[in-house]
Structure 1
Amino acid sequence: MSHKDHYYNKSKQEGYRSRAAYKLKQLDREEDLLHEGKTVVDLGAAPGGWLQVASEEVGESGTVIGVDLQRIKDVDGVETVRGDMTDESTKEEVRDLAGDAVDVVVSDMAPNMTGEYSVDHARSVHLARQAFETALDVLDTGGDFAVKVFEGQDLDDFREDLDEEFQYVRTLRPDASRDSSSEVYLVAKGRMTAPVAEGDVIEVEIADEGSEGDGVAKVESYTLFVPGTSEGETVEVEVTEVKPRFGFAERTDG
C-alpha cells in the first residue's frame, strides 16, 4: 500500500473527513497544541478534518470554531463561521463565539495549484500571511499558531516575521504529507503582546518584591522582574528577556 493510500484509507476507516487530520494529530503530538478546555480557531477549515481532531482534543469544556468561505458540514460540538478570515466582521464573529480568548489558531489552507512552482509558493505564502495577520488579531497572550506553507525563497522571511511575534517557532513536515508535496508547517508558540521589547531602556518604579527577591515593576499591566532593586525605588533598566506574561530587566545605573 502506498504512503498516500495508507492515510487516505485510515481516514475513511476512522471517520475523518480528510487525510489531513493526521497532520494536525502529529503537530499536536510533537508541539502540544491542543488541550482540554482550549479555544481553537481553524482558518480555511473545510471540509472539517482538522475541526474533528481539535474537537476531540479540547473536549466538551473547550471551544472549536471553523472559518471558511465555503459551507462546512456540521461537526459535533463545533461552531462555524462562513466568511473571509481577513474581514473585520468575520473576526468579530469569531471573537464573539470565542469570548475574546483564543488559545490556538491553525490553518491548513493551500492555494489553487497552477503547477508553476514559484507561483504556487508565492500564493501559499500570501495565504499563510493572511492567516498570520488574523492570528495576531484574535490570539490571546501566550497563544499558539500553526500554518501550512510551501517551501521556497520567501519561507525564511515569513518565519522571521513569526519569530518576532512568538517565543518559539519550529518547522515540521508531518508523515501524512505526500512525498511529492513541498508543504511544511510552521508552529509558533507563545504569542507575545508585551508593551516592551528586548533592548528597551526605560524608567520604572519598583512596586513589590518577588518570591526570589527580585524587584517587581509594572509597565502598563505587564510585569518586569529587576534583580538588585528594592520596593519604592525608581530606576532605569534595560529589558533583557520578554515572555508572554512577564519579562526580565537589568538596572543600568549600577
Structure 2
Amino acid sequence: MARKDEYYNRAKQQGYRSRAAYKLEQLNETAGLVQSGDTVVDLGAAPGGWLQVAHELAGEGGTVVGVDLQRIKPLEGVETVRGDMTEEETRERIKHALDGEEADVVVSDMAPNMSGEYSLDHARSVYLARMAFETACELLGPGGDFVAKVFDGPDLNDLKRDVEREFDYVREVRPEASRKESSELYLVAKRRLTAPVRVGDKLDVEIEDVGNEGDGIAKVEGFTLFVPDTEAGDSLRVRVTDVKPRFAFATRADGE
C-alpha cells in the first residue's frame, strides 16, 4: 500500500479531517511542541486536521484557535477566525479569541496554490512561511514555539536565518507522513526570544548584583544579563554571547 493511501485511510478511520493530521502528530513527537494546557494558534487551518490534533494535545485546559480565509466547519473545543492573517483586523480578532493571552505555540501548514513551476511555488511557500513567522512573533509569549511548512529551495536559507534570530534554535524536519515525492519540510523553531539583546551585541552596563553562581547581574530594559568575573558596582562594556528566553550571558569586552 502506498504511503499516501495509508495515511489517507487512517485519517478516514480515525475521524481526522485530513491526512495532514499525522504530520503534526509526528512533528510533536519529534520536537515536543504542544503540552497539556497550552494555547495554540493554527494559521491556514482549513479543513481542520491540525486543529483536531492540537486540541487532543492541549486538552480541555488548553485553548486552540484556527485561522483561515476559508470557512472551517465547527469543532468542539476549538475557536475559529475567518480572515487573512496578514491583515491587522484578523490579527486583532485572533488576539480577541485568545482573550488577551499570549500563544504557547503557533503552527502553519499553509501551502500556495500550485502552479507547476517549482521556482514559483517555492518562492510563494517561503512568502507564506514568512507571513506566518511575522504573525507568530506578534502572538507568541517568551519561550513559545513556531512551526511552518515551506518547500525546499534557494530562498529557504534567508528565511531560516531570520527565524533563528528570534528563537533559541531552529531545525528542519521532514515528517514521515509527508508524501515521498514532496519537497516540503517544516521549520521548527523552539523557545521564542523576546530579549532586547541578541548574540554579538556590545553594551555598556552596570553590575547591580551578584547571583548565586557568582556571576554579576546587569539589567537591560529589565532583562537579566549574567556577566562572569564582575562585582556589584562595576561599570563596563560587554559582548552578548548567548540569549535565552528570559536571560542572557555576556563576557567583558573592555578591550574590544
Deviation at 1:37, TM superposition (A): 1.1
- Any residues of structure 2 matched to 1:154-233 within 5 Å, and which? 154-233=155-234
Deviation at 1:178, TM superposition (A): 1.0
Deviation at 1:29, TM superposition (A): 0.2
* 1:91-117 deviation digits (Å, cap 9, x = unpaired): 112122222311111000111111111
Structure 2 counterpart of 1:190, one-letter code: R
- Any residues of structure 2 matched to 1:66-215 within 5 Å, and which? 66-98=66-98, 99-215=100-216
Question: Distance in 2 between the 1:96 and 1:206 partners?
Answer: 40
Deviation at 1:175, TM superposition (A): 0.9
Deviation at 1:55, TM superposition (A): 0.5
Aligned residues: 254
- Any residues of structure 2 matched to 1:27-42 within 5 Å, and which? 27-42=27-42
Question: Distance in 2 between the 1:204 and 1:157 partners?
Answer: 32
Question: Distance in 2 between the 1:147 and 1:71 partners?
Answer: 21
**Secondary structure in 2 matching 1:65:** strand
**Secondary structure in 2 matching 1:188:** strand
**Secondary structure in 2 matching 1:115:** coil
Question: Distance in 1 between the 2:35 and 2:183 partners?
Answer: 29
**Secondary structure in 1 matching 2:52:** helix
Deviation at 1:142, TM superposition (A): 1.5
Deviation at 1:208, TM superposition (A): 2.1
Deviation at 1:56, TM superposition (A): 0.5
In the alignment, what sits opposite 2:251?
A: 250
* 1:50-101 deviation digits (Å, cap 9, x = unpaired): 0000001011111111000111111111111111101111111212222231
Deviation at 1:10, TM superposition (A): 0.4
Question: Distance in 2 between the 1:184 and 1:43 partners?
Answer: 16
- Percent sequence identity is 65
8 Å CA contact retained: 2:165, 2:198: no
In the alignment, what sits opposite 1:61?
A: 61
Question: Distance in 1 between the 2:59 and 2:20 partners?
Answer: 20
In the alignment, what sits opposite 1:18?
A: 18
Question: Distance in 1 between the 2:227 and 2:165 partners?
Answer: 23
Does residue 50 in structure 1 map to residue 42 in structure 2? no
Structure 2 counterpart of 1:72, one-letter code: I
Question: Distance in 2 between the 1:221 and 1:101 partners?
Answer: 19
Question: Distance in 2 between the 1:152 and 1:50 partners?
Answer: 25
Structure 2 counterpart of 1:53, one-letter code: V
> Which has the larger displacement, 110-119 or 5-14?
110-119
* 1:6-50 deviation digits (Å, cap 9, x = unpaired): 000000111110000000000000000000111110000000000
Deviation at 1:169, TM superposition (A): 0.8
**Secondary structure in 2 matching 1:28:** helix
Structure 2 counterpart of 1:174, one-letter code: P
8 Å CA contact retained: 2:23, 2:178: yes
Q: Which runs of 5+ in 2 are unaligned?
A: none
> Which has the larger displacement, 88-97 or 23-32?
88-97
Structure 1 counterpart of 2:144, one-letter code: G
Deviation at 1:132, TM superposition (A): 1.1
8 Å CA contact retained: 2:19, 2:49: yes
**Secondary structure in 2 matching 1:176:** coil
Deviation at 1:246, TM superposition (A): 0.4
Q: Which runs of 5+ in 1 are unaligned?
A: none
Question: Distance in 2 between the 1:125 and 1:166 partners?
Answer: 18
Question: Distance in 2 between the 1:240 and 1:136 partners?
Answer: 22
Deviation at 1:192, TM superposition (A): 1.4
Question: Distance in 2 between the 1:181 and 1:36 partners?
Answer: 31
* 1:140-163 deviation digits (Å, cap 9, x = unpaired): 121111011111221122212211
Deviation at 1:137, TM superposition (A): 1.5
Structure 2 counterpart of 1:231, one-letter code: A
Structure 1 counterpart of 2:54, one-letter code: A
TM-score of the pair, normalised by structure 2: 0.95
